[in-house]
Structure 1
Amino acid sequence: MAERWFIKNIKADYKYISKKYALSELVSRLIVNRNIISDEMIRSYINPDFDKFHEAREMKDLEKSVDILREKIKAQNKIRIVGDYDVDGVISIYILYSALKRCNANVDYEIPDRIKDGYGINMNIIKQAKEDGVDTILTCDNGISAIDQIKYAKELGITVIVTDHHDIPFVEKENNVREFISLSADAVVNPKQSECNYKFKQLCGAGVAFKLVEILYETFNIDKKECYKFIEFLAIATVCDVVDLVDENRIFVKKGLELINSTTNLGLQELIRECELTEKTLSVYHLGFIIGPCINASGRLDSAKRGLKLLLSDDEEEAVRLAKELVKLNEDRKDMTMNGVEAAVEIIEKSGMINDKVFVIYIPDIHESLAGIIAGRIKEKYNVPTLVITKAEHGVKGSGRSIEEYNMFEELIKCKDLLEKFGGHPMAAGFSLKEENIDEFRRRLNENTILKDEDLLRKVTIDSVLPLDAINYDVINDLERLEPFGKSNSKPLFAEKNINLLRATILGKNRNVLKLKLKTRMNKALDAIYFGDIEKFEEEVSSKYGNEELQKLYNGEYNHVNLDLVFYPNVNEYNGNTTIQIVIQNYR
């Protein structure tokens, strides 16, 4: 697949920055490349610690919410938390529930069922709350768009506090003017409200819940240290909800990883053991691709309450059983996802859809909770905005994942006459429609789109040129300071042109790793490793240089194979030896 390579070239006084903050010029460049430019942001970035937290009281309605909760706790009124079924929702409930319990509240929780109820608080949950004698509903990771539902709760005399981080819903008036809709709740805590002065707008749902608990604990004179214990859970939610890993989110994840590696939470300990991670130092990767998906699997294929029960468990037998169940559910989810991805690829390749600029794929029989994951995999494979649709109880439901150049939410607005319901943001969306409208929906999205062919070329953004001879342990240690990597703080990528290859070897039990020996400009040898498509690599080398040169490369003989490389350097530890190597991301 063709690619466009770019070198970021942001003008800044790197010498000044490196002197002022005692950083290398390379790190100064990388920080500026990640759009971290104000003094406060740079200080928080290079030293992410609790003292860099923003004042929680600046969040609109936050103190008001704490005051309401304090009165309700004093009166022992019944409080019910209503969350969401994904990782962020489950952890938001865990934090609020544990904290309210610690303050001796009369509290329980409810999570909508993904299939039966769909996203967010609904009329049935409110009716049930009234019947159960609930005095106050506290939402987390949902509620900002539940206009009618909250109105209904208020009519029934229920106090409602909303904590959420999703975009504020709006009505489009004439000339595309957007009027934001306000809720009839008693208090609404969401940093995205235009009248909220909170400094950082990119918290996940659990992040908003945590800020509430900060002030709740202060009000009840509970030690800050106890409040910070929640950060290991918050780290999982922050990584899995794919919010920007800068500012407070960076602190949550950096500090949370330190805590989680010596966690005393029974459920997490068992889950880590069951995922065979006991010997490993957990990183962002483990949270996002192993731990998080296990908690998520219960909300996808069963009830999200299982994931929550695991975190709340104080009984070893129960924790072991639940951890095993979640890992098993996640294995099932992986198999179902793989089958779904294969079905989608077949549809794209065989139906002439391959030339569409927006993929709309209808696979009636996949589990509707997997549509989003499958859409994400297809988007990764083809670099095309992808919407995957599946049969639901009423009509069909879909989930979409996008690329930077395509604002999916805005594009869905253009088709809203075809949709029953939809919501989302630029990079991801969910929607439902009637089955007979799918083809028209596909046609309209593709006709409306302003995507050009070059928008669909994969973009490779390079931080800077880095000569292979300049790589040493100091540089690698410097780069480690930038971790944890994630959205808006991507792993740094470097490039060098025209590198001669000394030898190639295929490793791995599935023969899926390519190890290369490279020759630097100063005639030194350097190891490199590539985890991509090896067959394609061989084809490209053969077609450019001939099969003979490829064979020479494998034999370690003198050859003419030269590559441009995009890479990042790291340390390879093998049998007690440490050597410097580069990990190749792209080549040409």
Structure 2
Amino acid sequence: MSRWMIKNKKCDMDKICNLIGEDEIIVKTLLNREIYTLKGMKCFLKPSFENLHDPIKMKDIDRAVDIIIDSINKKLKILIIGDYDVDGIMSAFVLCSALKEFKANVNYYIPDRITDGYGINISMVDRAYKDGYDVIMTCDNGIAASEQIKYAKKLGMIVIVTDHHDIPFIEDEYQNRKYIVPNADAVVNPKQLNCEYPFKSLCGAGIVFKFVQLLYDRITKNKIEANKFIEYVAIATICDVVDLVDENRFIVKYGLNLLNTTNNLGLKALKKITGVSDKVMNSYIIGFIIGPCFNAAGRLEDASISLRLLFTNDQSEAEKLALKLYTLNKKRQEMTNHGVEEAVNYIEKFSIQDNKVLVIYIPELHESIAGIVAGRIRERYNLPTIILTRGKTSIKGSGRSIEGYNMFEELLKCKNLLEKFGGHPMAAGLSLAEPNIKPLMKRLNDNCSLTDEDIIPKIIIDCSLPFKKISLKFAENIRNLEPFGKGNPKPVFAEKGISIIKVAFLDKNGRFLKFTLKQGRLYFNAVMFQGLDELKRLIFGTKQNNVSIYEYLSSIKIDIVFYVNINEYMGKEYLQLQIKELRKSAL
């Protein structure tokens, strides 16, 4: 059972409501997203092009643009090196497309996840040099490639880095950190200590978009032309799970509108094969239907399939490639489900469910899905989880964490057991020798300071919401807060003392429940996914086992945590509550 926690930000609520013309619930929701200024609230509610920051504020971006313009004029050969995930794919596509518009001699290379690994490596530099490339430009990688870039410079190549990942560092014996920036001709990354760009949470494609904005400004004197690429940047922004605030919020909101009417043959074919052509694009569709198809190519085969889909102008090829991505994603889903089953079996076999940090070794698991499996296990047990598998040369792994456990910092304490590692507080990648698996598990758990309280799942509630305040107008106001995602979660509400008038099982497994709920004189329909276990706990956790489900439920009141949704049926919109969790009420 989760712990329910209601946020309670203090302020002059009436004054703010009057100034921005919104009701108390909306204001509370904005405050809960740490938007404290009137200007910030107005920008959030009505994002516009004015929210975009001037790209010139980003360190080295003007130099990078100058180098590329000079390279175009001199007809130098340019190679773009991206990454095999959605962000890297979209970054490479946007950058390559923009440069081609200005007649650049440009091509791209997407590393192979298994044979190349992440980012630029020495063999790529050698190939680029032998193939006559004069300029290497990275996107969504490169900030940690100091040695590779040093090698390219030694060969006489020009190197530009565009990246959004954290700046790597080394620590001395006193844990003082020295940050290391590659000695490239230009390094464009707002996370550099001396970069004055005001927003630090762009994804890789977001950094590329700022570069392309300035490129158009310099060549055509009209950076607005770059806005046609925002639909691709929006896909990357959603799928890379960066905070949907500030510029990212506008990019996604505007980009989703463009995606509804996209002219890209590949995207249209992918929307059709996934069954979303007639849907209004939202963060869920991009993050859980479209994005995984692009990711699947890089996980199981070759990410360049995704680039070919985006670049194609042939309808038949678009349909063929879209089907390929769709099929690969189905295969990836099957592999993931099997991997999760194996991980659960491992936990039970070795009785490690009481560990505070789960380290699970599944030798035959495809290394490309280790992170997905780690995420699923983390969600199931609410524990930091590392999934290890046997790679070609060493044991490879991916980890996913929970709030309150900085996975990168904890791995840093184990660095003598690891060959390589990197990441951030909530996720990490690593490699190590097989004999070090058990020592790693022991040290992570010995060092872990998580308490039993810390690992209880928590539901953060925006505010209590009595039924009398719920209306179609209110739900529309909530919908105006979209797109939802990291940094801007869908508003969560709670209310006590609700009566169950009716419950129905809408699928044969009893996992999808539909309720009729009542508070006072008001009735609402509600649905609950995966709700059977909750219902069993509510009923059989009591001593009234001889009473039928329906008799028992009609005799009690419940507390609920829920979302407010607008559904459409036969051309009409209607309200529906979606229950996230329920419990027996003390009222």
Please indicate, yes or no, whether the TM-score normalized by the shorter chain is above 0.5.
yes
The letter for the 1-side match of 2:373 is I
Q: Distance in 2 between matches of 1:86 and 1:205?
A: 11
Question: Size of the alignment, in residue pairs?
Answer: 583
In the other structure, the counterpart of 2:194 is 195
Q: Distance in 1 between matches of 2:545 and 2:512?
A: 20
Shift of 1:481: 1.2
**Cα displacement string for residues 232-286 of structure 1 (whole angstroms, at most 9, x for unaligned residues):** 1111100000000000000111011100010000000000011111121121001
Correspondent of 1:552 among 533, 550, 553: 550
Q: Contact conserved, 1:503 with 1:553, CA < 8 A, in 2? A: no
Shift of 1:140: 0.3
The letter for the 1-side match of 2:563 is Y
In the other structure, the counterpart of 2:488 is 489
Where 1:26 maps in the other structure, the secondary structure is helix
Shift of 1:550: 4.2
The letter for the 1-side match of 2:469 is A
**Cα displacement string for residues 150-202 of structure 1 (whole angstroms, at most 9, x for unaligned residues):** 00011000010000000000010232111101211000000100100001000
Shift of 1:587: 1.1
Correspondent of 1:566 among 561, 575, 580: 561
Shift of 1:547: 3.4
- Structure 1 residue runs without a partner (length 5+): none
In the other structure, the counterpart of 2:128 is 129
Q: Distance in 1 between matches of 2:40 and 2:193?
A: 22
Deviates more, 1:560-569 or 1:258-267: 560-569
Q: Contact conserved, 1:235 with 1:252, CA < 8 A, in 2? A: yes
In the other structure, the counterpart of 2:183 is 184
The letter for the 2-side match of 1:174 is E
Shift of 1:508: 2.8
**Cα displacement string for residues 503-547 of structure 1 (whole angstroms, at most 9, x for unaligned residues):** 111113543211111121x23222111112304412422332623
Q: 1:318-333, aligned counterparts within 5 Å?
A: 318-333=317-332
In the other structure, the counterpart of 1:110 is 109
Shift of 1:52: 1.3
Q: 1:97 to 1:151 in 2, by over 3 A?
A: same
Correspondent of 2:529 among 528, 531, 536: 531
In the other structure, the counterpart of 1:67 is 66
Q: Distance in 1 between matches of 2:92 and 2:67?
A: 18
Q: Distance in 2 between matches of 1:42 and 1:150?
A: 43
Shift of 1:576: 4.7
Q: Contact conserved, 2:20 with 2:38, CA < 8 A, in 1? A: no
Shift of 1:580: 2.1
Where 1:118 maps in the other structure, the secondary structure is coil
Q: Distance in 1 between matches of 2:110 and 2:524?
A: 53
In the other structure, the counterpart of 1:96 is 95
In the other structure, the counterpart of 1:436 is 435
Q: Contact conserved, 1:541 with 1:561, CA < 8 A, in 2? A: no
Q: Contact conserved, 1:504 with 1:553, CA < 8 A, in 2? A: no
The letter for the 1-side match of 2:281 is L
Q: 1:248 to 1:142 in 2, by over 3 A?
A: same
Q: Contact conserved, 1:82 with 1:139, CA < 8 A, in 2? A: yes
Shift of 1:572: 3.2
Shift of 1:404: 1.1
Shift of 1:40: 3.9
Q: 1:218-229, aligned counterparts within 5 Å?
A: 218-221=217-220, 223-229=222-228
Shift of 1:67: 0.5
The letter for the 2-side match of 1:552 is Y
Q: 1:343-422, aligned counterparts within 5 Å?
A: 343-422=342-421
**Cα displacement string for residues 67-97 of structure 1 (whole angstroms, at most 9, x for unaligned residues):** 0111000000001101111000000000000
**Cα displacement string for residues 446-473 of structure 1 (whole angstroms, at most 9, x for unaligned residues):** 0010111111100111110111122111
Q: 1:104 to 1:201 in 2, by over 3 A?
A: same
Q: Contact conserved, 1:542 with 1:550, CA < 8 A, in 2? A: no
Q: Distance in 1 between matches of 2:547 and 2:490?
A: 33
Shift of 1:61: 0.4
Correspondent of 1:541 among 528, 539, 542: 539
Where 1:499 maps in the other structure, the secondary structure is strand
Where 1:277 maps in the other structure, the secondary structure is coil
The letter for the 2-side match of 1:99 is A
1:168 aligns to 2:167 (yes or no) = yes
**Cα displacement string for residues 115-152 of structure 1 (whole angstroms, at most 9, x for unaligned residues):** 00110100000011111111111000000000100000
Q: Distance in 1 between matches of 2:462 and 2:474?
A: 14
Q: Contact conserved, 1:137 with 1:159, CA < 8 A, in 2? A: yes
Q: Distance in 2 between matches of 1:201 and 1:364?
A: 38
Q: 1:199 to 1:553 in 2, by over 3 A?
A: farther
In the other structure, the counterpart of 1:580 is 575
Deviates more, 1:502-511 or 1:117-126: 502-511
Q: 1:301 to 1:488 in 2, by over 3 A?
A: same
Q: Distance in 2 between matches of 1:539 and 1:58?
A: 56
Q: Contact conserved, 1:92 with 1:209, CA < 8 A, in 2? A: yes
Q: Distance in 1 between matches of 2:222 and 2:318?
A: 28
Where 1:285 maps in the other structure, the secondary structure is helix
Q: Contact conserved, 2:534 with 2:582, CA < 8 A, in 1? A: no
Shift of 1:432: 0.1
Q: Distance in 1 between matches of 2:485 and 2:548?
A: 36
The letter for the 2-side match of 1:586 is E
Q: Contact conserved, 1:298 with 1:304, CA < 8 A, in 2? A: yes
- Structure 2 residue runs without a partner (length 5+): none
Q: Distance in 2 between matches of 1:576 and 1:197?
A: 49
Shift of 1:316: 1.2
Shift of 1:502: 1.2
The letter for the 2-side match of 1:304 is A
The letter for the 2-side match of 1:158 is M
Q: Distance in 1 between matches of 2:280 and 2:469?
A: 29
1:237 aligns to 2:236 (yes or no) = yes
Q: Distance in 2 between matches of 1:519 and 1:553?
A: 16
Deviates more, 1:458-467 or 1:214-223: 214-223
Shift of 1:553: 4.5
Q: 1:9 to 1:536 in 2, by over 3 A?
A: closer
**Cα displacement string for residues 409-465 of structure 1 (whole angstroms, at most 9, x for unaligned residues):** 000000000000000000000000001110111011000101111111001111101
Where 2:329 maps in the other structure, the secondary structure is helix
Shift of 1:575: 4.2
Q: Distance in 1 between matches of 2:212 and 2:574?
A: 46
Q: 1:553 to 1:59 in 2, by over 3 A?
A: farther
Shift of 1:58: 0.2
Q: Distance in 2 between matches of 1:341 and 1:11?
A: 43
The letter for the 1-side match of 2:392 is E
Shift of 1:560: 1.4
Q: Contact conserved, 2:495 with 2:560, CA < 8 A, in 1? A: yes
Where 2:159 maps in the other structure, the secondary structure is strand
Q: Distance in 1 between matches of 2:507 and 2:225?
A: 45
The letter for the 2-side match of 1:234 is V
Q: Distance in 2 between matches of 1:381 and 1:11?
A: 34
Where 2:419 maps in the other structure, the secondary structure is strand
Where 1:455 maps in the other structure, the secondary structure is coil
**Cα displacement string for residues 46-72 of structure 1 (whole angstroms, at most 9, x for unaligned residues):** 111112100110000001100011100
Shift of 1:38: 3.1
Q: Distance in 2 between matches of 1:287 and 1:175?
A: 45
In the other structure, the counterpart of 1:146 is 145
Q: Distance in 1 between matches of 2:168 and 2:205?
A: 20
Shift of 1:391: 0.3
Q: Contact conserved, 1:549 with 1:560, CA < 8 A, in 2? A: no
Q: Distance in 2 between matches of 1:40 and 1:417?
A: 48
Where 2:353 maps in the other structure, the secondary structure is helix
Q: Distance in 2 between matches of 1:69 and 1:191?
A: 19
